[in-house]
Chains A and B, each alone.
Chain A
Amino acid sequence: MNNLIVGEDIVKIYGEGDEQRRVLDQVSLTIEEGEFMAVMGPSGSGKTTLMFALSGMDGLDGGRVAYRGRNLAELDERELSDLRRNEMGFVFQQPTLLKNLNILDNIILPALRNGKESAAQLTRKARALMKRMGIESLEKRDITQASGGQLQRAGICRALMGKPSIIFGDEPTGALNSKSAEEIMDIFAQIVDEGTAVMLVTHDAKVAARTQHILFMRDGKIVSELRFLKKNSPSLDQRLRLITERMREVGI
């Protein structure tokens, strides 16, 4: 397997003077191509911050992040934008759709910016994705006319449009009931099967149990790690037990 993203000794400091806090304290990790990964940790432990650091959305105060061997610190704003648009997809804690556009337009927006496909092609593709997510009837709706869960799914559709190499999901299922959450995890699993890496931030052990690689964070550090091999990996229940045990061990 090839490395997709490699982070070495990542340091991120917030605040100034006496208020200074190391939100990420020499974090190192590797995301492989096509890997399904989860990050767990208590609130405030730095999970979202790590995601911003790995995707180049935020600068670092130490260490480096490389995407397919390219150091993100050496890319300019334009190259970083291109990278995010072409290679990455994001699903945030809250739905991040634009107010002015209807749901369909929101979904096709970043792909349209790429200019590789026509609006008609993209619309067809978006409709297929929306159908898969169960929100096909919402396409003309304004974003104020949909529920939080529906918007979250629309956000996932948007992230998938550009056929990214990796999708970052910051608690994508946090706002959903367990049934919807499971449906969404099915979709992520499918995406991984199609070769896209997925990194999810989650508080939910059930969600983490569906992934292959779990990082446990505390106070800005990775304190523990779990890996399930693809071949003869334990059953879902066993994994769930292993994860909850480890969570207790590290004090999450």
Chain B
Amino acid sequence: MYGRLVRNDMAKSKLTTATTMAFIAAAAMLVFLALFMVVHLLGAIDNLMTQSKTPHFMQMHSGTLDEERLKAFAQKNSQVEEFQVLEFLNMEGADILLGDNSLISNVQDNGLCIQSDKFDFLLDLEGRVIRPKPGELYVPLCYFKDGTAKVGDRAVIHGREFRVAGFLRDSQMNSTLSSSKRFLVSQEDFEALRDLGNTEYLIEFRLMDLSMLGAFETAYIGAGLEANGPTITYPLFKMVNAISDGIMMGVILLISALVVAIAFMCIRFTLLAKIEEDYREIGVLKAIGIRVSDIKKIYQAKYAAIGAAGCVLGLFLALVLKDRLLENIRLFMGESHQSFTATLLGITGIILVFLTVMAYVNRVLKRFKSISVQEALRYGTSGEPAKGAQHFTLSRSRLLNVNVFLGIKDVLARKKLYGTMLVVLVLAAFIMIVPINLRHTLESERFIGYMGIGQCDILINIQQTTDISEKAESIVSHLAKDKDISKFALHTTKAFKVKKGDGSEESIKVQLGDHQMFPIAYSEGRAPVSEDEIALSVINAQELGYKVGDVLTLVIQGRERAFKVSGIYSDITNGGKTAKAVFSDKDTGVMWCTLSVALADKALVKTKLSTLTKAFPFAKILDIEDYAEQILGPTINAIGLARSVAIAIALTLSVLVTLLFMRMLVAKDSHAIAILKSLGFTNNDLRWQYGTRSVFVLVIGFVLGTLLANTLGQGMAGGLFASMGAASFRFETHGLSAYVIAPLAMALSVFAATVLGTWKAGSIKLSENIKE
């Protein structure tokens, strides 16, 4: 008898059963894929870093280099297993031509290398160490990925001809997040071009024991060796390699959590509706002495069947899709040889999804216990009057149309049931608004402020060259004469030592100049104004442990000088570790200079850009929009894609869930509908009532979703940016999209789904339903 009950029930609610199963399948698939990919990613990174023997410690250095001294240090230090200095011949993007594409507007530091003898190998796509022949050029994979180059292309570097012989995996610099890219050429070609580029050094060490990295780092710094450039260690290489794909997997896991939540809502709604519908039957069963646990078993069996089918389907889909998702990891990092572990973990994830679903079903089924036989038999419904809605009565509501009233009243009276639909709509609104606002924020001018750059039109960088100060001065005097330029500011970056609490010293890069002309986003305090003030980037402030108002001691030319911390600002460039001050200092060497330029007429940016580029070939001159675009471009595009996907998901979800809910409601409400029709309410009246229900729920859902997006969503995005060095992140809301188009689109979908879902209400047979 129970078996028949379940079968009847599933046949009657085919749509709901199918939807619930689909959501469970989607959740199972996503969980599997995310776990599967995590294992592969970690495995592939390990493999790549083992094959290419990535250095444990690397110091980049530009300027003169005393190799003998370094060798002596390496020999003396017992930790060092191997040591080498590689040359990185930095080339201007303009001097690199791949096929028909010049790298002129590329923001990466592109440079030439030869293959190393000992470690830090550049690998081909089969994981072999590449030995280029003269005339052959091996190009970083990212230029394959973005379509800049392909095998067989003619390449020209500083007038010297090459053929693109292949692409290379670089365990250090694979990621677009690392700012340098290594091209591989033969020794012969390298020597020929040596004088045409700017040589930087990669001072690299492999240690006996990676756990001694911290001690080694201290020893290196303590020895006062070459250190004009960033220091990067093995764990950081690993992280940089993992981060892009890692974020994607995080997102997938997040989405799967969301899908699981929606599957739960479907189950909850179905069960609650079922319980409401069967209230009398369950009461009867209880009255004639059938145990609640027996009744519960029916539903457990039903959901075990749905859950198992969904999970199997999900696994199948995941197995079909997994290879396509692995493509990127395979391309950049090669194989992981972890298929078995990955599959095992993925299946464990799916089993977890199944168990969670069953646990949830049991929780909802607890409600059966509380069904009162007395009430069930007398009224066919639970006796508790709808709390809070009792004072909302027809006789007192003067303003509302009867149908609107009935719609709202129904929602208020069955809060639990509609709460379920509400949760889904809140989620839909949330996943729609967050990417809309996120993308808009990234595109907004203000976002540049988070990057530690004021709002200007053109950015001029002078670095990796000689006589930086003199060159900067020549540009300054040029700019001062130019009438098109409304204002400009010169910032000179120098490295000083900051004295820490324990007496030790650490290097800090300080930008000197006027910091008020192009203001940036300060999370606390303000820009430095007087000579004894300094502002710190968020990450620096955190790492050094300073707050606004604290006193910080810099060592300048051997003399200590105290500064007051005037403010803390966001900076996601240069690794997020910078400082700003206004004091003058003539003697310390300049690392680089930056000029921020604002034009009187923004339309002139392009022409000004080309005249400046011609006049000052040594400087890197960037349109600020291009610059932001290149740094943020991939992120903006990814988020733009996420936004489209999210909108599609949100709308589909709204339609599906509303359709489902409305159809179930009509089925459940057939008695009430029959009563209303016998009283002379038209089908149109009914449609208005159901329309009001969904619009009412939608409005609340959208408001809550928006609130959630602007608090939790902003917090989540803020957390992400905070880890990159941006503080006090605020959404720049796109009012039109977020608060007009998005809700309208949702309202339209929900409304259409309601009309569709309640169509059947019109054909409810009075004579059959009025009798109960």
- If A52-B766, A113-B402, A144-B381 touch, whether A101 touches B409 (CB-CB below 8 Å) is yes
A67 within 8 A of B: no
| Chain A neighbourhood of B681, CB < 8 A | 81, 85, 110, 113
> How far in angstroms is the closest Cβ of chain A from B329?
56
**Contact between chains at A108 and B675 (CB < 8 Å):** no
**Contact between chains at A77 and B762 (CB < 8 Å):** yes
**Contact between chains at B672 and A98 (CB < 8 Å):** yes
Q: Which residue of A lies closest to B412 (CB)?
A: A100
**Contact between chains at B679 and A102 (CB < 8 Å):** no
B393 within 8 A of A: yes
| Chain B neighbourhood of A113, CB < 8 A | 402-403, 679-681, 685
**Contact between chains at A96 and B375 (CB < 8 Å):** no
B104 within 8 A of A: no
| Chain A neighbourhood of B676, CB < 8 A | 98
Q: Among A57, A99, A123, A145, which residue has its beta carbon within 8 angstroms of that of B767?
A: A57
**Contact between chains at B394 and A119 (CB < 8 Å):** yes
Question: Within residues 123 to 176 of chain B, which ones have a CB less than 8 A from any CB in chain A?
Answer: none
B71 within 8 A of A: no
Q: Which residue of A lies closest to B763 (CB)?
A: A77
A185 within 8 A of B: no
Measured between alpha carbons, how far is A46 from B720 in the docked complex, in Å?
72
Q: Among A49, A77, A96, A102, which residue has its beta carbon within 8 angstroms of that of B675?
A: A96
| Chain A neighbourhood of B396, CB < 8 A | 119
**Contact between chains at A144 and B379 (CB < 8 Å):** yes
- B383-391, B730-738, B752-760: which lies at the A interface? B383-391
**Contact between chains at A94 and B771 (CB < 8 Å):** yes
**Contact between chains at B679 and A90 (CB < 8 Å):** yes
Would you give the 0/1 interface string for B391-405, flagging 1 where the beta carbon is closer than 8 Å to chain A? 001111110001100
| Chain A neighbourhood of B413, CB < 8 A | 99-100
**Contact between chains at A77 and B682 (CB < 8 Å):** yes
A61 within 8 A of B: no
- If A83-B680, A109-B394 touch, whether A57 touches B766 (CB-CB below 8 Å) is yes
**Contact between chains at A78 and B684 (CB < 8 Å):** yes
Measured between alpha carbons, how far is A96 from B767 in the docked complex, in Å?
13
Q: Which residue of B lies closest to A81 (CB)?
A: B682
| Chain A neighbourhood of B680, CB < 8 A | 81-86, 88, 110, 113
Chain B: interface residue total (CB-CB under 8 A): 42
> How far in angstroms is the closest Cβ of chain B from A251?
25
Q: Among A98, A126, A144, which residue has its beta carbon within 8 angstroms of that of B385?
A: A144
Residue in B383, B389, B395, B762 with the greatest tally of chain A CB atoms within 10 Å = B395
Measured between alpha carbons, how far is A85 from B375 in the docked complex, in Å?
32
Q: Which residue of B lies closest to A151 (CB)?
A: B379
**Contact between chains at B678 and A84 (CB < 8 Å):** yes
**Contact between chains at B767 and A52 (CB < 8 Å):** yes
**Contact between chains at A85 and B395 (CB < 8 Å):** no
> How far in angstroms is the closest Cβ of chain A from B772?
6
Measured between alpha carbons, how far is A99 from B385 in the docked complex, in Å?
9
| Chain A neighbourhood of B330, CB < 8 A | none
| Chain B neighbourhood of A83, CB < 8 A | 680
B612 within 8 A of A: no
| Chain A neighbourhood of B772, CB < 8 A | 94
| Chain A neighbourhood of B390, CB < 8 A | 102, 140, 142
A9 within 8 A of B: no
Question: Within residues 459 to 510 of chain B, which ones have a CB less than 8 A from any CB in chain A?
Answer: none
> How far in angstroms is the closest Cβ of chain A from B442?
47
| Chain B neighbourhood of A101, CB < 8 A | 393-394, 409
> How far in angstroms is the closest Cβ of chain B from A106?
9
Q: Among B378, B395, B406, B684, which residue has its beta carbon within 8 angstroms of that of A104?
A: B395
Measured between alpha carbons, how far is A93 from B680 in the docked complex, in Å?
18
**Contact between chains at A112 and B394 (CB < 8 Å):** yes
**Contact between chains at B675 and A98 (CB < 8 Å):** yes
Q: Which residue of A lies closest to B386 (CB)?
A: A100
**Contact between chains at B679 and A108 (CB < 8 Å):** no
> How far in angstroms is the closest Cβ of chain A from B733?
38
**Contact between chains at A112 and B675 (CB < 8 Å):** no
Measured between alpha carbons, how far is A86 from B386 in the docked complex, in Å?
31
**Contact between chains at A100 and B770 (CB < 8 Å):** no
Q: Which residue of A lies closest to B413 (CB)?
A: A100
**Contact between chains at B402 and A109 (CB < 8 Å):** yes
> How far in angstroms is the closest Cβ of chain A from B32?
44
> How far in angstroms is the closest Cβ of chain B from A142?
4
B677 within 8 A of A: yes
Q: Which residue of B lies closest to A57 (CB)?
A: B766
B765 within 8 A of A: yes
| Chain B neighbourhood of A110, CB < 8 A | 679-681
B410 within 8 A of A: yes
Measured between alpha carbons, how far is A105 from B406 in the docked complex, in Å?
10
Question: Within residues 98 to 140 of chain A, which ones have a CB less than 8 A from any CB in chain B?
Answer: 98-102, 104-105, 108-110, 112-113, 115, 118-120, 122-123, 126, 140
- If A57-B767, A109-B402, A113-B680 touch, whether A144 touches B394 (CB-CB below 8 Å) is no
B108 within 8 A of A: no
**Contact between chains at A81 and B677 (CB < 8 Å):** yes
A225 within 8 A of B: no
Q: Which residue of B lies closest to A158 (CB)?
A: B679
A58 within 8 A of B: yes
| Chain B neighbourhood of A140, CB < 8 A | 390
B683 within 8 A of A: yes
**Contact between chains at A90 and B678 (CB < 8 Å):** yes
**Contact between chains at A85 and B679 (CB < 8 Å):** yes
| Chain A neighbourhood of B375, CB < 8 A | 144
**Contact between chains at A118 and B682 (CB < 8 Å):** no
Q: Which residue of B lies closest to A123 (CB)?
A: B395
> How far in angstroms is the closest Cβ of chain B from A169?
13
| Chain A neighbourhood of B378, CB < 8 A | 144
> How far in angstroms is the closest Cβ of chain B from A160?
13
**Contact between chains at A58 and B766 (CB < 8 Å):** yes
Q: Which residue of A lies closest to B411 (CB)?
A: A100
> How far in angstroms is the closest Cβ of chain B from A84?
4
**Which are the 8 A-B pairs with shortest beta-carbon distances?**
A85-B680, A84-B680, A105-B394, A81-B682, A142-B385, A110-B679, A57-B766, A100-B413
A interface residues, Cβ below 8 angstroms from B: 48-49, 52, 57-58, 77-78, 81-86, 88, 90, 92-94, 96-102, 104-105, 108-110, 112-113, 115, 118-120, 122-123, 126, 140, 142-145, 158
25 A-B pairs within 8 Å (CB atoms) are namely A49-B767, A52-B766, A57-B677, A57-B766, A57-B767, A58-B766, A78-B684, A82-B680, A85-B681, A92-B771, A94-B771, A102-B393, A104-B393, A109-B394, A110-B680, A112-B394, A112-B402, A115-B402, A119-B397, A120-B398, A140-B390, A142-B385, A143-B379, A144-B375, A145-B383
B interface residues, Cβ below 8 angstroms from A: 375, 378-379, 381, 383, 385-386, 389-390, 393-398, 402-403, 406, 409-410, 413-414, 672, 674-685, 762, 765-767, 770-772
Name 14 extra pairs, CB < 8 A, besides A84-B680, A112-B402, A119-B394.
A48-B767, A78-B683, A81-B680, A84-B679, A85-B681, A99-B381, A100-B386, A105-B393, A113-B403, A113-B685, A118-B398, A144-B379, A145-B383, A145-B385
